[in-house]
Structure 1
């Protein structure tokens, strides 16, 4: 079974803005980035799920037509009260408290990294349980979580795993578990 974790293309947002659940549109580079992703996907009949946020659903539609379902659990981390504020506008003391224990400390009216990780892994397990080739069009935090799960990387080290905008991770599920076939494809 092949699984592709596809990160949305570059969002249309000012650099330094905190966003997660915000439903951002995409930058003018969408067609170029989406075409690159399209070029790495094998010609297979994928079962496709996407985050309902437009930066993912637009890419899913471009890549797979309308043959995909959305799943709320594939959304990026919920930055709660910090959504769409610049990092400079977020109180330094509040940000420092969160950064000191982002694994367990939720953002005010948002969620912690552990909460994102747990919902991402639960979604991944459920959505890939069919054994059919699957593509998940989602966000960096979700992909980072699943990649950590697949590689046995401890959650406290998983934040260092990176997948660029408009790139994919290729996983292969076999009798021995998950193999990583490629990152940032």
Structure 2
């Protein structure tokens, strides 16, 4: 069984803005980026899951049509009160307090990285249990959490796992064992 984790293409948002649950549209480079992703995928049937946020669902529809399942557990980290604010405007104390313990500390009105990890792994295990080739079109936080799970990387170190826009991480499941085949393809 193979699982493809695909990060959405570049979002239409100004750099330096905090976003996670915000339902952003995609940048005007969408068709070019999505076409590149499509060319990298094998021509075989997949069970397709996507975050319901449009930056993921648009890519999933472009790649696979309407035969997909949208699941809230594939959403990016909920930044709560910080959503759509500039990182620079959050204040150094608030931001530093979260950065010092981002795995377990919840963003005001939002969630922690551990919360995201737990919901991501929950759906991932359900996908594996179906034993069918699958695609998850999602966000960097979810992909990073799943790669940490697969590679037994501590969450504190998982931000070293770089996940780029419009890129694929490939996994193989053989006899219940998970293997990472490639990242940022």
Q: Which TM bucket (shorter chain)? A: over 0.9
Counterpart secondary structure, 1:157: helix
How far apart in 1 are the matches of 2:95 and 2:155? 20
Task: Give the CA RMSD over aligned residues.
Answer: 0.8
Aligned length: 185
Q: What residue is the counterpart of 1:38 in the other structure?
A: 38
Matched, 1:2 2:26: no
Task: State the Cα deviation string for residues 38-75 of structure 1 (Å, max 9, x = none).
Answer: 01101110000000000000000000000101000000
For structure 1, which runs of at least 5 residues remain unmatched after alignment? none
How far apart in 2 are the matches of 1:139 and 1:20? 9
How far apart in 2 are the matches of 1:28 and 1:130? 36
Matched, 1:126 2:126: yes
How far apart in 1 are the matches of 2:99 and 2:44? 41
For residue 24 of structure 1, report the CA deviation from its aligned partner.
0.1
Query: TM-score, normalization: structure 2?
Result: 0.98
Q: What residue is the counterpart of 1:157 in the other structure?
A: 157
How far apart in 2 are the matches of 1:129 and 1:158? 25
For structure 2, which runs of at least 5 residues remain unmatched after alignment? none
Q: Where does structure 1 differ by over 2 angstroms across 4 or more consecutive aligned residues?
A: none
How far apart in 2 are the matches of 1:63 and 1:16? 29
Higher mean C-alpha displacement, 173-182 vs 42-51:
173-182
